[in-house]
Structure 1
Amino acid sequence: MDAADLTDIIVNTVELLSPQANMNGIQFKLNYADSDFIISCEKNQIKQVFLNILKNAMEAMDKGGDIEISLEDNNEGGCIVSFQDQGCGIPDEFLPRLGEPFYTLKEKGTGLGLMICHKIIKQHHGSIEYKSKIGEGTLIEITLPLLKTIK
């Protein structure tokens, strides 16, 4: 595992997806405090998680709109990365099953994307939570432990 700045990983992921987002009328809005969010991670795995989540968000937004990505300190030695989309939303009864293998709400989905996300976040000692309102969008919050930096 390497030390990496979460802000860099997010910016990098957003750059990858921006051309596709722009074509679909979707803007990424980044909000993060002006500090370092250094975590111990496999960079590519965390990037994979963000890519999966952002692609899902984009697919849920057929009319375009904004995806807000926020990064904040949770004051408990960790940080929260949140992704808020303006998509179609997910019915409450489906939320607990997200991340189960082969469970999908998409016509052509495999249900493996979020399962992999859950696995990666767990390996990084983090957690992932979903909140959603039909017609308003979905909020996904990922909590990850920050590396203790010596000041």
Structure 2
Amino acid sequence: MNDIQFTLSVEESPIFITCEKNQFKQVFLNVLRNAIEAMNMGGEIHINIKQGSDGACIISFQDQGRGILEELLPRLGEPFYTLKEKGAGLGLMVCHKIIKQHDGSLYYKSKVNDGTLVEITLPLAC
């Protein structure tokens, strides 16, 4: 779709988290939609799932899109804040809410013309 390739990298050992499936489907769809819309010339989206050194689950999405100015990153997830012409500013807000409800965190790293990394950290299931 849109000349975009997806690559998935998952650690060999199983990683278990406790979550509500439909809520996380919404999070992943919002993050991937943003990545796709940022890549109007195609490219790759790398999805990586691993266990962090602190024992948490880390799910990351790296795109090759147009990137975001560093000073705008702290505003991502604010209600009605958007960088899109036709965006409502609610997608990432919902993502933040869902991740927080699951005792996780969302982190962004971006560089203009060099893509954006979205990293979701979640506690492992006991």
In which range does the TM-score fall when normalised by the shorter chain?
over 0.9
The 5 A counterparts of 1:45-56 are: 45-56=23-34
1:99 corresponds to 2:77: yes
* Larger RCO of the pair (alpha carbons < 8 Å, separation 6+): 2
> What is the TM-score when the length of structure 1 is the normalising length?
0.82
- Count of matched residue positions in the alignment of Structure 1 and Structure 2: 126
Q: Distance in 2 between matches of 1:41 and 1:83?
A: 19
Residue range with higher mean Cα deviation, 137-146 or 74-83: 74-83
Is 1:83 matched up with 2:61? yes
Moved over 6 A (4+): none
Return the TM-score normalized by structure 2.
0.98
Unaligned runs of 5+ in 2: none
Bigger fraction of residues in helix: 1
Among 43, 46, 53, the alignment partner of 1:65 is 43
Q: Which residue identity is paired with 1:74?
A: G
CA RMSD of superposed structures (Å): 0.7
- Structure 1 unaligned runs (5+)? 1-21
Tell me, yes or no, if structure 1 residue 109 matches structure 2 residue 65: no
Distance, in Å, in 1 between the alignment partners of 2:81 and 2:71 is 13
Residue 25 of structure 1 aligns with which residue? 3
CA distance in 2 between partners of 1:93 and 1:42 (Å): 33
1:119 aligns with 2:102: no
Equivalent position SS for 1:39: coil
